[in-house]
Amino acid sequence: MPQAADRHRPRPSGAARVAEVPQLDLPPEALAAEAERYEAAVKTTRRQLEQLRSAIPENAPTELGAFISLHLMLLADVTLSREPVTFCSSARSTPNGR
- Look at 60 and 6; give whichever has higher pLDDT: 60
pLDDT in tens, 20-55: 877 778 888 888 898 899 999 999 999 999 999 999
Reported as a pLDDT band with limits 50, 70 and 90, residue 89 is confident
Provide the 3-class DSSP secondary structure of residue 40. helix
Please give the C-alpha separations between residue 89 and each of 23, 43, 77, 79, in angstroms, as whole numbers. 18, 19, 19, 15
